[in-house]
RNA sequence: GGAGGAUUAGCUCAGCGGGAGAGCGCCUGCCUUACAAGCAGGAUGUCACAAGUUCAAUCCUUGUAUCCUCCA
């Protein structure tokens, strides 16, 4: 057989793109496994604005690992990709473009504006798709969906109309979060609160009967024009008797009443609160309870309207505030002004301050939906990883509020409601209509609003599979198996998907909910453009390769913890990939002139059995880790098996045989190595997909594409506990010798005589004998003597000890005897500490009675070992002194 | 105001009832014919603080401090 040549260094650019195309063109991403059951994942659809950032990379890389792992177990596996139209975000992008051209969306008109938005969508979609491909995502592109494509739009219609028919959708006057800049209502979750320095204004409201005044505290004095009451706590002793009295509202000619309501905090300000139902959520509720008038004082653009005194009309709220305060002050209504930090809501898209605003909006009644979703958790139909998010989910569901789903935007799913201008009826329809079904008038008009983006994405797990049609995909792949998402959209998205799925399909949309952390910079800050601390996944791929990106993220993604990284973090994955590359390169070189032979367990040496055992354990660890979505543990197992076990010890051990063994020995050895390499590539594939495929296809014993090979499983035939113990013992001996050499500053090329003296209970004798050459090489021995009787002369040797053995290095050069003695003394010190602890426990009757038998055994062993170390070390000190 | 998370080596973080770990960085020595993106050896920690439970606490409980996040 000829050697297979690999380029000298790992260069992912040579093959990543080619391999991706190969997989895709060969249909490897399609669900084709033959086993029973299915494994399916829907990709959280990235927004078609902007490009993918490191958070997307983390999310998709983890999905890819899960998907590849399950695909290799042989079940039909489907990963559905897609993108989200992202209403406000995308519309903002287009509006920014227009602004640069001096235009507004109204100048274009709805149709032209939407055309332009579709162009933006197409552009960003192409970028996103290519990014996902570069990352190596093994999603089935034939299943790709977009939240505004035909099928999904149909699903949205079906959903809206059905909910309407079930009485779960209503239109109502409601106080909504309103962004004056975006010109739309926002859901509660789309408002971000930030603490901001502000003022607390104490304002005097005089009694109408002239008997003095009361003082109310407010942070937003301009809203006083919408005041319709002042409230006190019903049990506030300070204000007994004032309830029911009338006040003159300053700067106006209106009169308002004092009411009692227990929502008032007695501690805040003066304990008297002005009630502005149209402009504060709490006040709105209070107003409802007390049948207060609701006066809206704002225009849609956030300026004051005709319900305010004329001089303030048309002013933005912040401007009006200044003027109102000045006027109040001039009229002597201001008691005092103090600094006051308070939470201010901002639009999550454009960061403008949110105004609570009274308007007509569409809502979904959430209570019944939430109840079903809670039940799903109680019945364990859904499981969160990590589990603690279940509390968060539960609390949110329990305190659910109705969901405002209308948005005053153009980009999105138009609300399927028509109004007949002739008969005044409201028509909700699955199909577009041109005629009023009641009076047959053509004078009808569709509601101009669109639906919240999440109203389409909450259907994602089943709408992407064809719902509302009863498709094959839906039958085969729904419910999906796992959903991977960061914790920031549990409420926006995850919770709502569960609700919609329970409502429309009667089951949870997925079983496992894998919550990842957020990607942050090394200081723990969110990555953002303004901070300039972002790490671009594409640049990382360019620099280190997609496998490095993937493996590093996986290695760092511990149980939903945030992932803190910088550019250099990815060297870790890159080094590992390079190691894999070079180990393979070495092995493939050694194929020259060899024949692969069949072998069985009886042909295996102790070392062989050890490495197969280690491989077996690694496969088992990885399976357990994957089942619990502990990605870092899985990555760790892969890493330490390949590098520490296979490369550092096993391959090193085989070098000698590969160089100087007989042809037969060489053939057997390289065959075993090829078997291990083939298995390793399968083991590694979910975590470093490109390199493992590239290598796999070059192996003489490969069986097709690694992406669809069977994932290694725990094999009880490959458990060799005794051999493992022996090899660990051998490694220990080598380490002792190396450590001694190093501390004695013996140059690597200097070979010296080494003697191993073994005591009772030393099990690895046969291994030590058969691996004499290997030990000699690693220990730099010119001569390696085994002393089983303890009779050999140790005069003049430098000693070291371990469990069941002593090593003696016969050094002729002058050595630093004192330093060695000091080293031994610290070892004695450590051992004495251990001994003390062990003896204390063993001498403690309560320990002996209560502790587990294994714990007691362990302490006994500890004690024996400590005694051995102390004894030997003391003897060694004497030996050194005699030099 | 409520809830959750974090606090372990210089840095980033695993671990989680019985002798403190990884990667990076650092120190020493090696271009050993796969890999200097490597190899070998080494140093570094009152596991935030305080009580409690336990035969035994970095790990469980409670409290404190500092930091972060979410919700109101």
Q: Which nucleotides of B are covered by protein (CB under 7 A)?
A: 3-6, 11-15, 18-19, 22-24, 28-30, 32, 34-35, 37-42, 54-56, 67-68, 70-72
Among A719, A742, A768, give the residue marking a domain's end: A719
Same domain as A693, residue A611? yes
Same domain as A657, residue A581? yes
Instruction: Quickly list DSSP for A134-181.
Output: HHT----GGG-EETTSHHHHHHHHHHHHHHHHTT-EEEEEEEEEEETT
Entry field: residues in chain A: 883
Instruction: Provide the pLDDT confidence category of residue A713 given band limits of 50, 70 and 90.
Output: very high
Domain membership flag for residue A535: no
Same domain as A849, residue A775? yes
Higher pLDDT, A567 or A138: A138
Question: Distance in angstroms, CA of A555 to C1' of B37?
Answer: 18
CA A442 to chain CA centroid, Å, is 52
Dig out the tokens for A440 from the structure: 């047959």
Domain harbouring A388, CATH code: 3.40.50.620
Domain membership flag for residue A369: no
Nucleotide with smallest C1' distance to residue A548 CA? B37
The answer to whether A270 and A303 have CB atoms below 8 angstroms apart is: no
Helix (H, G, I), strand (E, B) or coil at A16: helix
Same domain as A689, residue A763? no
Instruction: Provide the pLDDT confidence category of residue A857 given band limits of 50, 70 and 90.
Output: confident
Which of residues 337 to 366 on A have a Cβ less than 7 angstroms from any strand B atom? 343
pLDDT of residue A267: 67
- Put residue A739 in one of left, alpha, beta given phi > 0 → left and psi -120 to 50 → alpha: alpha
Domain membership flag for residue A822: yes
- Is the confidence at residue A523, as pLDDT, over 70? no
Whether omega before A468 lies within 30 degrees of 0, making that bond cis, reads yes
Question: Distance in angstroms, CA of A557 to C1' of B13?
Answer: 10
How far is CA A276 from each of CA A113, A188, A307, A374, A511, rounded to the nearest angstrom?
A: 38, 19, 13, 35, 45
Dig out the tokens for A533 from the structure: 């601390």
Domain harbouring A231, CATH code: 3.90.740.10
Question: Distance in angstroms, CA of A763 to C1' of B4?
Answer: 52
CA A179 to chain CA centroid, Å, is 30
How many domains in chain A? 4
Tell me the pairing of strands A426-428 and A403-404. Answer: unpaired
Residue listed under structure tokens 């079983």: A511
Indicate the helix (H) or strand (E) that contains A64.
helix A54-73
Same domain as A390, residue A511? yes
CB count in 10 Å sphere of residue A460: 29
Instruction: Provide the pLDDT confidence category of residue A173 given band limits of 50, 70 and 90.
Output: confident
Same domain as A714, residue A728? no
Question: Distance in angstroms, CA of A750 to C1' of B29?
Answer: 13
Residue listed under structure tokens 């051998």: A730
Q: What is the pLDDT of residues A377-393, one digit of tens each?
A: 888 888 888 888 888 88
Name the residue closest to the C1' of B15 by its CA. Answer: A633
Helix (H, G, I), strand (E, B) or coil at A737: helix
Name the residue closest to the C1' of B56 by its CA. Answer: A847
Q: What is the pLDDT of residues A45-56, one digit of tens each?
A: 998 887 888 888
Helix (H, G, I), strand (E, B) or coil at A362: strand
Name which of A805, A802, A797 is nearest A831 in CA terms. Answer: A802
Question: Distance in angstroms, CA of A577 to C1' of B70?
Answer: 38
What phi and psi, each to the nearest 5 degrees, are found at residue A851?
Answer: -70, 155
Nucleotide with smallest C1' distance to residue A558 CA? B14
The domain in which residue A64 lies consists of: 31-123+133-168+380-401+473-516
Question: Distance in angstroms, CA of A543 to C1' of B37?
Answer: 13
Name which of A527, A555, A673 is nearest A607 in CA terms. Answer: A673
Same domain as A679, residue A564? yes
Nucleotide with smallest C1' distance to residue A561 CA? B5
Domain membership flag for residue A361: no
Question: Distance in angstroms, CA of A683 to C1' of B49?
Answer: 45
Same domain as A859, residue A758? yes
Which of residues 679 to 708 on A have a Cβ less than 7 angstroms from any strand B atom? none
Which of residues 1 to 20 on A have a Cβ less than 7 angstroms from any strand B atom? 8-11
Same domain as A342, residue A199? yes
How far is CA A127 from each of CA A130, A132, A136, A143, A573, rounded to the nearest angstrom?
A: 5, 9, 14, 18, 25
Dig out the tokens for A101 from the structure: 């051209």
- Is the confidence at residue A198, as pLDDT, over 80? no
Q: What is the pLDDT of residues A234-287, one digit of tens each?
A: 777 777 778 888 999 988 889 998 888 877 776 666 778 888 888 887 788 788
Domain membership flag for residue A148: yes
Same domain as A237, residue A143? no
Same domain as A565, residue A698? yes
pLDDT of residue A60: 92
Helix (H, G, I), strand (E, B) or coil at A806: strand
Domain membership flag for residue A536: no
Which of residues 366 to 425 on A have a Cβ less than 7 angstroms from any strand B atom? 388, 391-392, 395
pLDDT of residue A93: 82
Domain membership flag for residue A176: no
Nucleotide with smallest C1' distance to residue A850 CA? B55
Among A719, A751, A783, give the residue marking a domain's end: A719
Domain harbouring A565, CATH code: 1.10.730.10
The answer to whether A607 and A653 have CB atoms below 8 angstroms apart is: yes
Question: Distance in angstroms, CA of A391 to C1' of B62?
Answer: 21
Higher pLDDT, A342 or A681: A681
Which residues on neighbouring strands pair with residue A361, listed in sequence order? A172
Instruction: Quickly list DSSP for A166-229.
Output: TT-EEEEEEEEEEETTTTEEE-GGGEEEEEEEEEEEEEEEEBTTSS-EEEEEES-GGGGGG--E
Nucleotide with smallest C1' distance to residue A575 CA? B37
Question: Distance in angstroms, CA of A655 to C1' of B28?
Answer: 27
Question: Distance in angstroms, CA of A824 to C1' of B7?
Answer: 36
Q: Rounded CA gap, A153 and A149, in Å?
A: 6
Instruction: Quickly list DSSP for A755-779.
Output: EEEE-TT---HHHHHHTHHHHHHHH
Same domain as A336, residue A242? yes
Domain membership flag for residue A51: yes
> What is the 3 state secondary structure string of A238-260?
HHCCCCCCEEECCCCCCEEEEEE
Question: Distance in angstroms, CA of A34 to C1' of B20?
Answer: 47
């Amino acid at each position: 057989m000829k050697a297979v040549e690999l380029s000298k260094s790992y260069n992912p650019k040579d093959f990543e793109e080619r391999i991706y195309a190969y997989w895709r063109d060969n249909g490897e991403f399609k669900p084709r496994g033959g086993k029973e059951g299915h494994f399916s994942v829907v990709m959280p659809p990235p927004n078609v604005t902007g490009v993918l950032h490191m958070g997307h990379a983390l999310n998709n890389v983890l999905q890819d690992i899960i998907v590849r792992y399950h695909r290799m177990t042989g079940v039909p596996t489907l990963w559905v990709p897609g993108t989200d139209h992202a209403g406000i975000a995308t519309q903002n992008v287009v509006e920014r473009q227009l602004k640069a051209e001096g235009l507004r969306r109204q100048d274009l008109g709805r149709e032209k504006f939407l055309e332009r938005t579709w162009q933006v969508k197409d552009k960003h979609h192409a970028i996103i798709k290519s990014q996902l491909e570069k990352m190596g995502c093994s999603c089935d592109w034939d299943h790709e969906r977009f939240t505004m494509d035909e099928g999904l739009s149909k699903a949205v219609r079906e959903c809206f109309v059905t909910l309407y028919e079930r009485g779960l959708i209503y239109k109502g006057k409601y106080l909504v979060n309103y962004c004056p800049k975006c010109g739309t209502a926002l859901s509660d979750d789309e408002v971000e609160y930030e603490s901001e320095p502000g003022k607390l204004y104490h304002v005097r409201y005089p009694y109408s009967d002239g008997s003095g005044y009361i003082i109310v505290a407010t942070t937003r004095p301009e809203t006083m024009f919408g005041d319709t009451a002042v409230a006190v706590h019903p049990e506030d002793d300070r204000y007994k008797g004032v309830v029911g009295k009338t006040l003159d509202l300053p700067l106006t000619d209106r009169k308002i009443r004092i009411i009692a309501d227990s929502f008032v905090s007695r501690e805040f300000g003066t304990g008297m609160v002005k009630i502005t139902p149209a402009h504060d959520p709490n006040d709105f509720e209070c107003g409802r309870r007390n049948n207060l008038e609701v006066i809206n004082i704002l225009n849609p653009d956030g300026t004051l309207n005709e319900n305010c005194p004329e001089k303030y009309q048309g002013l933005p709220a912040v401007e009006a505030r200044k003027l109102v305060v000045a006027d109040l002050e001039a009229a002597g209504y201001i008691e005092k002004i103090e600094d006051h930090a308070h939470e201010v809501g901002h639009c999550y898209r454009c960061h403008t301050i949110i105004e609570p605003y009274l308007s007509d909006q569409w809502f979904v009644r959430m209570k019944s939906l939430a109840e079903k979703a809670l039940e799903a958790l109680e019945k364990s139909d859904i499981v969160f990883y990590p589990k603690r998010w279940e509390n968060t989910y539960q609390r949110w569901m329990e305190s659910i509020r109705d969901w405002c789903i209308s948005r005053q935007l153009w980009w999105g799913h138009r609300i399927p409601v028509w109004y007949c201008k002739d008969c005044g009826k409201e028509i909700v329809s699955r199909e577009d209509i041109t005629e009023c079904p009641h009076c047959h008038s053509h004078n009808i008009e569709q509601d101009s609003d669109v639906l919240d983006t999440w109203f389409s994405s909450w259907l994602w797990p089943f709408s992407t599979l064809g719902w509302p049609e009863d498709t094959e995909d839906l039958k085969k792949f729904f419910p999906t198996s796992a959903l991977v998402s960061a914790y920031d959209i549990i409420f926006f998205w995850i919770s709502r998907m569960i609700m919609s799925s329970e409502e429309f399909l009667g089951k949870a949309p997925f079983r496992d909910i894998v919550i990842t952390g957020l990607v942050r910079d090394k200081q723990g800050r969110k990555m953002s453009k303004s901070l300039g601390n972002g790490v671009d996944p594409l640049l990382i791929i360019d620099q280190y390769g997609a496998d490095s990106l993937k493996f590093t993220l996986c290695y760092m993604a511990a149980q939903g913890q945030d992932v803190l990284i910088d550019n250099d973090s990815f060297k870790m994955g890159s080094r590992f990939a390079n190691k894999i590359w070079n180990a393979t390169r070495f092995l493939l070189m050694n194929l020259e002139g060899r024949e692969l032979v069949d072998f069985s367990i009886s042909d295996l040496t102790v070392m062989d059995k050890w490495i197969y055992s280690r491989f077996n354990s690694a496969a088992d660890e990885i399976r357990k880790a994957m089942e619990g979505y502990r990605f870092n543990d899985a990555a760790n197992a892969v890493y330490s098996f390949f590098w520490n076990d296979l490369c550092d010890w096993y391959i090193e051990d085989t070098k000698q045989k590969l160089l100087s063994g007989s042809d037969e020995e060489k053939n057997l050895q390289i065959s075993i190595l090829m078997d291990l390499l083939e298995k390793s590539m399968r083991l590694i594939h979910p975590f470093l997909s490109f390199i493992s495929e590239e290598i796999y296809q070059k192996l003489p014993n490969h069986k097709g594409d690694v992406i669809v090979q069977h994932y290694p499983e725990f094999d009880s035939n490959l458990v060799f506990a005794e051999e493992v113990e022996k090899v660990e013992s051998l490694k220990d001996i080598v380490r002792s010798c190396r450590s001694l050499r190093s501390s004695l500053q013996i140059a690597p090329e200097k070979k010296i005589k080494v003697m191993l003296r073994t005591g009772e209970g030393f099990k690895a004798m046969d291994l030590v004998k058969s691996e004499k050459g290997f030990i000699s090489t690693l220990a730099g021995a010119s001569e390696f003597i085994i002393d089983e009787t303890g009779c050999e002369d140790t005069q003049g040797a430098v000693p070291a000890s371990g469990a069941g053995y002593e090593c003696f290095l016969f050094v002729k050069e002058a050595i630093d005897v004192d330093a060695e003695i000091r080293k031994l003394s610290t070892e004695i010190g450590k051992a004495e500490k251990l001994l003390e602890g062990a003896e204390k426990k063993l001498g403690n009757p309560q320990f002996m009675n209560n502790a587990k038998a294994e714990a007691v055994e362990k302490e006994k062993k500890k004690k024996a070992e400590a005694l051995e170390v102390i004894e030997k070390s003391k003897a060694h000190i004497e030996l050194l002194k005699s030099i």
